[in-house]
């Protein structure tokens, strides 16, 4: 029976942490350690976590001043001594046979990473949608691309690792957006034997208002970091670089709408976007994106005004019905 190290960073998670920990405690498996890293919480989640740590030696609590999820996960990686390492977010939970399914998959001693399926659920546990990994192919890098296209690549909680491949691999401190995808690109740059488990053993909780996250004025640079991580990942396989054009177009579109819909300083935002590496690969004929490439700032202002006027009129009409 393999030993699992489960790393759970938590910050002000008093409303969800008990459900998360109970899903582990009452699973069908015993050989694990749970590394809870409190990231300077100001609510009662640390007190709740202490209940588990005091009553069960498999639950271990560590505390740090608020430094973000990357730093918290790194503490967990430094403390972990299990054969297999996985991450669980403090507002999510696992299926009862989570460990059993992964234990069985890792019976193959040459296997280093297992990606698995998940259910997207609401905060009451009602299932919204199921997401399963794509079919495993013989081409390693094609598998990574397929996972990315399916939006099942970067999340820390969507995979489990053999500890031996982590060594000195750590999350980048100070990065609190897309840090999981950067970590995954770095970790998998050296080909590893993969498994795609066609079981939804994880419950990802989608709360109302989840999209209303902190606005990042440097969002374009954060997207560019991800693009460059993928460029480095695929640099040794020239026949796969066509995916970079897809990734670049995706980054350009998400940055476009981020600038239109978030409270950022419009021109500085799009000027930053114009110097991003992914813009060199963009093939989209979108009007605003082309204006960014060509640095037509006055026209960008007009397109910004036009877009938001359209949204305002649409909202006014809906309210009037």
Tell me, letter by letter, the H, E, C secondary structure of 103-163.
HHHCCCCCCCEEEEEEEEECCCCCEEEEECCCCCCCCHHHHHHHHHHCCCCCCHHHEEEEH
Question: Parallel, antiparallel, or unpaired for β 93-94 and 194-205?
Answer: antiparallel
For residues 30 and 98, the answer to whether their CB atoms sit within 8 Å is no
Inter-helix orientation angle 297-320/266-274, to 10°: 130
% of the chain exceeding 70 in pLDDT: 97
d(CA 168, CA 190): 14
pLDDT above 80 for 184: yes
Q: Tell me the pLDDT tens digit for each residue of 95-112.
A: 999 999 999 999 999 999
Tokens representing 298 are 């006055």
Distance CA 255, CA 87 (A): 28
Cβ(157)–Cβ(67) below 8 Å: no
Hey, where are the domains in the chain? Answer: 4-205, 219-320
> pLDDT digit string (tens) for 132-164?
999 999 999 999 999 999 999 999 999 999 999
Per-residue pLDDT, averaged over 75-104, amounts to: 97
Q: Which CATH class is domain 4-205?
A: alpha beta
Mean pLDDT of 265-289: 96
Residue 290 phi/psi, 5-degree rounding, is -65, -35
Confidence band for 312, pLDDT divided at 50, 70 and 90:
confident
Q: Could you tell me where the DSSP H helices lie in the chain?
A: 17-25, 45-55, 69-79, 98-105, 140-149, 179-188, 219-233, 242-261, 266-274, 287-293, 297-320
């Amino acid at each position: 029976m393999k030993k699992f190290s489960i790393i759970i960073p938590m910050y002000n998670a008093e409303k969800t942490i008990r459900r998360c920990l109970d899903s582990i405690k009452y699973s069908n498996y015993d050989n694990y350690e749970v590394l809870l890293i409190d990231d300077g919480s100001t609510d009662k989640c640390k007190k709740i976590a202490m209940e588990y740590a005091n009553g069960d030696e498999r639950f271990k609590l560590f505390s740090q001043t608020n430094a973000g999820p990357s730093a918290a996960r790194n503490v967990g990686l430094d403390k972990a001594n299990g054969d297999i390492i996985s991450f669980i977010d403090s507002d999510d939970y696992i299926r009862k046979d989570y460990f059993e399914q992964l234990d069985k998959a890792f019976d193959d001693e040459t296997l280093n990473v297992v990606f698995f399926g998940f259910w997207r659920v609401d905060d009451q546990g009602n299932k919204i949608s199921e997401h399963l990994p794509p079919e495993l192919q013989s081409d390693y890098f094609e598998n990574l691309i397929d996972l990315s296209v399916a939006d099942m690549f970067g999340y820390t909680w969507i995979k489990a690792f053999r500890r031996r491949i982590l060594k000195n691999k750590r999350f980048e401190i100070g990065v609190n957006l897309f840090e999981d995808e950067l970590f995954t690109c770095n970790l998998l740059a050296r080909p590893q034997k993969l498994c795609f488990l066609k079981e939804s053993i994880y419950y990802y909780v989608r709360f109302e208002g989840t999209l209303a996250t902190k606005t990042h004025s440097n969002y374009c640079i954060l997207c560019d970091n991800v693009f460059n991580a993928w460029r480095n990942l695929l640099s040794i396989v020239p026949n796969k670089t066509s995916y970079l054009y897809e990734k670049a177009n995706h980054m350009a579109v998400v940055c476009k709408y981020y600038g239109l819909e978030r409270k950022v300083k419009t021109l500085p935002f799009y000027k930053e976007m114009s110097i991003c590496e992914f813009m060199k690969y963009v093939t989209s004929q979108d009007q605003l994106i082309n204006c960014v490439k060509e640095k037509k700032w006055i026209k960008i202002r007009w397109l910004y005004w036009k877009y938001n006027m359209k949204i305002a009129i649409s909202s006014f009409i809906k309210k009037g019905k």
